[in-house]
Amino acid sequence: MRATPPLRGARADERGAGTVEYVGGTILAAFLVLALLVTPVGSSVRDAFSAAVCSVVERDGCTVPGVGETPLEQATSGQYVALGDSYSSGEGAWDYEDGTDFDDRDDLWPFNDHEEDHNRCHRSESAYSQVVAGDNDFAGGFSFVACSGAVANDLDHPNHSNSGEDPQYDSLDDGVSLVTMTMGGNDLGFADVVKDCIVNGERGVGFLDSCQEKHDQRIRDDLPRLSDDLVQRYREIQERAPNARVIIIGYPPLFVENPSDSFNNLLFAEDQRWMNQMGADLNAMLAAAAAEAGVEFVDPTSAFEGHGIGSDEPWINDLDLGGPGFSVADPSSFHPNAAGHAAIAELVQQQLENPRYP
């Protein structure tokens, strides 16, 4: 059974109830719990009541002895499944798993590309899900199906961009106790945004549309549509994995808060600030969609302060020219490195132990 989310909003004493009333309510709850412990009622009722009492006392990691599980115990009671796109797979953190970093089409004969195997899902051993899986004992093990370049449609359809990639939802069932996912950036075409800002930024060629002119309004128009889609996707995850906690992870800001023109990544300062703002708008939408669907959300923005591109200790890879095959840029560009994934893993661990809801 999915744990009941803690009540959001002000504490009881901040809503106008006096200390005596607040303590009295807690004592009453304790007596009711005692009655439940000695009364033959169903476990689902006990678990729900345990969650309700924990919301009254508002204590992190709360559990009533003999009733329910801690949030971490619930999350680790079954299998952990990691879904998502490149920010989930670990693109840019390197140490990719066998079978997720090859492309037989990298030759000079283009006429049989459709027959040749290719998989660049780039599932990294340093991805945040791998760190979380290694730091906890999941009773049902760990399944890692996130894939670089994935879009929402790849959740319930085969990923035709990579050989051997079934729908990510195929990994979900009632034995799953935790699902994490970062998804949405590719659906908004953020890769094209970065490319266009490199080619022609705000102070670029004046008679051509700048990247902001091409994409700003388009993204704002697409966000509500994507929100509706993701709310439905989150609910589908809950239906397919009814016993799982579902945690959606947002996107870290790419650049420092006050960037300067960069000749390393060929981006003007104003384009870097704009891309950070677009990322913040995407995270706000993801948080709202998670709240509507009743799932959890983790925002890595604050943790990455001082660690964007342009900082002394960046957790995001800068532009790396000379990608695989005939690519001009390596896909690891503008993705978290191993240190960035370790930071996200720490945030997920905190969420596992002390849930916060959007």
Asked whether residue 192 falls in the same domain as residue 328, the answer is yes
Quote the number of domains for the chain.
2
- Asked if residue 104 and residue 5 are part of one domain, the reply reads no
The reply to whether 284 and 169 lie within a common domain is: yes
* Residues 169 and 196 both lie in one domain: yes
pTM above 0.85, yes or no: no
How many helices and strands (H and E) does the chain possess?
A: 9, 7
Q: How far apart are CA 131 and CA 345, in angstroms?
A: 6
Mean pLDDT value across residues 61-73 = 68
* Angle, CA of 239, 243 and 247, to the nearest 5°: 80
79 falls within a domain: yes
Residue 358 lies in a domain: no
The domain boundary, picked from 18, 42, 68, lies at: 68
Q: What is the pLDDT of residues 92-119, one digit of tens each?
A: 999 999 999 998 766 565 665 555 689 9
Say which CATH number the domain at 310 has: 3.40.50.1110
161 occurs within a structural domain? yes
CA–CA separation, 353 and 70 (whole Å): 8
Give one DSSP letter per residue of 227-240, joined into a string.
HHHHHHHHHHHHHH
Distances (CA, A) of 152 to 223, 224, 232, 296: 14, 15, 11, 18
Kindly state whether residues 62 and 176 are assigned to the same domain.
no
* Centroid of chain to Cα 232: 16
Instruction: Find how far residue 300's CA is from the centre of its chain.
Output: 9
In Å, how far are 58, 133, 171 from 74, measured between CA atoms? Answer: 18, 14, 19
**229 and 295 inside one domain:** yes
Instruction: Give a yes or no: residue 343 inside a domain.
Output: yes
Domain assignment of residue 160, given as a range: 71-353
pLDDT greater than 80 at residue 353: yes
DSSP letter (8 states) at residue 83? E
Residue 216 lies in a domain: yes
Clarify whether residues 212 and 133 are in a common domain: yes
In the block, tokens 């990322």 appear at 279
Closest CA to 150 of 130, 138, 165, 132: 165
Distance CA(252)–CA(271), nearest Å, equals 16
Domain limit, last residue, from 68, 91, 118? 68
Taking CA atoms, 275 is separated from 31, 47, 348, in Å, by 54, 44, 24
Does position 326 have pLDDT exceeding 60, yes or no? no
Domain co-membership, 60 together with 128: no
User: Per-residue pLDDT tens for 327-336?
Assistant: 557 899 999 9
Q: Are residues 123 and 179 in the same domain?
A: yes
Last residue of a domain, one of 68, 86, 119: 68
Structural domain contains residue 344: yes
Q: Give the per-residue pLDDT at 28.
A: 39
- 152-168 pLDDT, tens digit per residue, is 999 999 999 999 999 99
Do 149 and 281 lie in a common domain?
A: yes
Token pair listed for 138: 């999941």
Q: Are residues 36 and 181 in the same domain?
A: no
Same domain assignment for residues 119 and 149: yes
Residue 135's closest CA among 84, 80, 68?
A: 80
Per-residue b/e over 245-267, b at no fewer than 16 CB within 10 Å?
bbbbbbbbbbbbeebeebeebeb
335, 91 Cβ separation under 8 angstroms = yes
Q: Give the mean model confidence (pLDDT) for residues 217-233.
A: 98
pLDDT band of 79, cuts 50, 70, 90: very high
What are the backbone angles phi and psi of residue 323, rounded to the nearest 5°? Answer: -80, -175
Q: What is the pLDDT of residues 259-287, one digit of tens each?
A: 999 877 889 999 999 999 999 999 999 99
